[in-house]
Amino acid sequence: MRKALAVVVCCFILATGYIAYVIAERQNALQKFARYNDSWAVSQTVGEYVRFESLLAEYALGIEGVDKDELRLRLDIVLGRMNSLREGSLAAFIDAKPDMRKVIGEVDQLLGDVDKRLEELSPAEARALLPVISGHVPQLTSVAAESVANDVEIIDAAHAEVRKLHIIYTGLAGGLILCGMALIFLLLRHNQLLDRAQTKLTLLTEELQTATLELQSNNLRLEYDAYHDALTNLPNRALFRRELVRRLDPPSGIDKVALLLLDLDGFKEINDTLGHDVGDSLLQAVAARILPIRKNHELICRLGGDEFALVADNLDEDQALDLARCLVERIASPYHIGDMEIKIGTCVGIAISHRQSHADELLKHADLALYEAKRAGAGSLSVYRPYMQSQLAEKRSFEADLQAALQNNEMDVFYQPQVSTETRAVCGFEALLRWTHPVRGRVPPAEFIPVAERTGFINALGKWVMETACKEAALWKPNIKIAINLSPVQLHSSNLIQNVVEALEKSNLDPARLELEITESVLLGNSDQTLAILDNLKAVGISMAMDDFGTGYSSLGNLRRVPFDKLKIDQSFLSDITSSQDALAIVEFVVGLGRKLRMTMIAEGVETEEQFAHMRQLGCDQIQGYLIGKPVPASELTAYGIYA
Ligand code: C2E
Ligand code: CA
Ligand code: CA
């Protein structure tokens, strides 16, 4: 479009220039018509010359009325005319023709002579002069004729030129009109395109605005998502950290920051038994309970899992404790999820910042306080104290000691007998791990097993127990079984089966003599993966016992789904069995159930004959407990007469 416009504009400029040139040319051509005056001037000269000649003839004849004055007048006119022949284009025309120049020269000379002699010229002299003057008339006439012919020629050429210029002029005018029309068309088209572009631009601008708004809202959403927990909509750990750092920064003007860390009690069990959907709903409900506590600038976050945090400004220790109590109370009241009523508590760890506290430091302190609260039991509160720091150091050194215990030969396997209720004859032993530390002394399994589970060391420890106990049991009579405890952590380790098979192969123990004890909590996840592992273990030929039955979130469905061979009634029932009718009823029910499922029933923690009698009466197959024998090292097993 621009090119077309440029071409049209150039055409205009050229055409205008050319028109100016054509007009100038036309002017020239028109000037050529003036040439017609030349032939007229020559013929006038000839006429005047003839008139002078005839006047001279009259003078020579002495005709009355013709005097010298009149002759002078005529001669001057002729001389004037002759002078005009020596001017302008006519002079050039005459000069170009030698014969014409000669004629004019001769006439000039003749008239010059006459001019000089005129005053004394007598009629007789005039008579003598006449033939000379007359002699030049034909020559002058032919000069006039030639001049006329020349003028006619020039005028014809000028005519032709004017015609040509006229045509060009007309063409140019037409061209200009066409160019003008093209220009108008192009301008209209240009306008139309501009209009369209304008509309398009408006549309694009609107689209851009919409896209920008969308982008802004997307960015806001992304930022929100990055800093919020999707389940509870509470700020997440990232926002918590950022906010904590900001509040601890002196320019925030906040003197003291109180950090309360919350960890729900037994959430994992609820999540595992009732399912993740219920767990999620419970977390949402807990979040909804905590949220109304926020009054001023408290920040309430979910740090992950069942951990929540509350950051409050300018609270002293008592106020923070009050707030924590309020939180514990709120969270503790029952929740109604679906048609279930669920109860859950929380522990709270509190840390209060001092001058120049760092976010990580404050978080660590609150963490230590929470750890302490957890140790104190469900629903506990704890405020950070410096001794917790040394406790942490102790925890670390305990872990390090445990890690080295196997290498340092500090571990031992003790064996506790299991007997038949009917005959009191030993039918097996449970392998129980013992750790004797050179400084700490005898460390109970209840203390180090959970630590080993947390650090993952239980896998190495369990493998060692398995190998040691299998090797020992292989020395016993073939009817004596060995029961080995299996931690849930071990059960989920990928090389469990391999370890069991290796232990059996190395010791050459009949798999039928090996019994693995697992607590029912192992089944809480109840994933297909767990069931597959248990099936694989059974496929090796070993038997499975459910340990501590009745203490966890017992699900009778598990008994059906998992191929247990033995059920161990937890010792907590045994201690109550003689005093509580309810405990007795439960045990009676469990024994009946086990029998129906064709499982061997064993009661553990039997300490008195009374308990023994009860169990026997209820039809429990086997008994384990201090009444029969405490766990002893292998070296003390000879008394049982079990060696082959
Ligand atoms: P558990 O499997 O329930 O083991 C039975 C616990 O009850 C043993 O405590 C045993 O010494 C104790 N006990 C036995 N008879 C009586 C009794 O008549 N009265 C009382 N009051 N207690 C009795 P221990 O040896 O301290 O073991 C505690 C827990 O540590 C075990 O509970 C078991 O869960 C775990 N544990 C022990 N050894 C191992 C092991 O080698 N591997 C794994 N994974 N866990 C182990
Ligand atoms: Ca056990
Ligand atoms: Ca047990």
pLDDT, block means (10 residues), the chain with 644 residues = 72 73 70 67 89 89 86 91 85 87 90 89 87 89 87 85 86 87 90 93 94 95 94 95 92 90 94 91 96 87 96 93 95 93 96 89 95 93 94 92 97 98 97 97 96 95 98 97 96 92 97 94 73 91 91 69 88 87 89 91 96 95 97 96 92
Residues whose CB falls within 8 Å of the CB of residue 488, separated by 6 or more in sequence, listed in order: 453, 518, 519, 521, 522
Q: Measured in angstroms, how far is the CA atom of residue 591 from the centroid of ligand 2?
A: 18
Q: Measured in angstroms, how far is the CA atom of residue 553 from the centroid of ligand 1?
A: 20
Residue 640: the pLDDT is 95
Angle at 313 between CA 392 and CA 231, to 5 degrees: 75
- Residue that the structure tokens 């159930």 belong to: 593
Q: Do 2-168 and 237-385 come out as alike in CATH topology? A: no
Q: Measured in angstroms, how far is the CA atom of residue 523 from the centroid of ligand 3?
A: 16
**In this structure, which residue's CA is closest to atom 26 in ligand 1?**
445
**In this structure, which residue's CA is closest to atom 43 in ligand 1?**
485
> Any idea where the domains of the chain sit in the sequence?
2-168, 237-385, 398-640
Ligand number nearest CA of 416 is 1
Does pTM surpass 0.85?
A: no
Q: Measured in angstroms, how far is the CA atom of residue 549 from the centroid of ligand 3?
A: 8
Torsion angle, alpha carbons of 475, 477, 478, 482, to 10: -70
Residue 42: the pLDDT is 86
The number of angstroms, rounded, from the C-alpha of 194 to the middle of its chain's C-alpha atoms is 36
Residue 34: the pLDDT is 56
Angle at 278 between CA 276 and CA 279, to 5 degrees: 60
**In this structure, which residue's CA is closest to atom 17 in ligand 1?**
605
Pocket of ligand 1 (CB under 6 A): 416, 431-433, 444-446, 449, 462, 465, 485-487, 517, 547-548, 571, 604-607, 625-626, 631
Atom of ligand 1 nearest to the CA of 486: 44
Which CATH fold would you assign to the domain 2-168?
Four Helix Bundle (Hemerythrin (Met), subunit A) (1.20.120)
Ligand number nearest CA of 442 is 1
**Domain 398-640 maps to which CATH number in 3.90.1150.150, 3.20.20.450, 3.40.309.10, 3.90.280.10?**
3.20.20.450
**In this structure, which residue's CA is closest to atom 13 in ligand 1?**
605
Go through 182-216 and write b for each residue having 16 or more CB atoms within 10 A of its CB, e for each that does not: ebeebeeeeeeeeeeeeeeeeeeeeeeeeeeeeee
Residue type, 151: D
Report how far residue 401's alpha carbon sits from residue 392's, in angstroms, rounded to the nearest whole number.
14
**In this structure, which residue's CA is closest to atom 3 in ligand 1?**
548
Residue 555: the pLDDT is 64
E strand or H helix at 307: strand 307-313
Atom of ligand 1 nearest to the CA of 433: 38
Q: Measured in angstroms, how far is the CA atom of residue 465 from the centroid of ligand 2?
A: 13
Q: Measured in angstroms, how far is the CA atom of residue 483 from the centroid of ligand 1?
A: 12
- Residue 545 has what DSSP assignment? E
Q: Measured in angstroms, how far is the CA atom of residue 445 from the centroid of ligand 3?
A: 12
Atom of ligand 1 nearest to the CA of 445: 30
Ligand 2 (ion): residues with CB under 5 Å are 485, 517, 547
For 237-385, CATH number?
Answer: 3.30.70.270
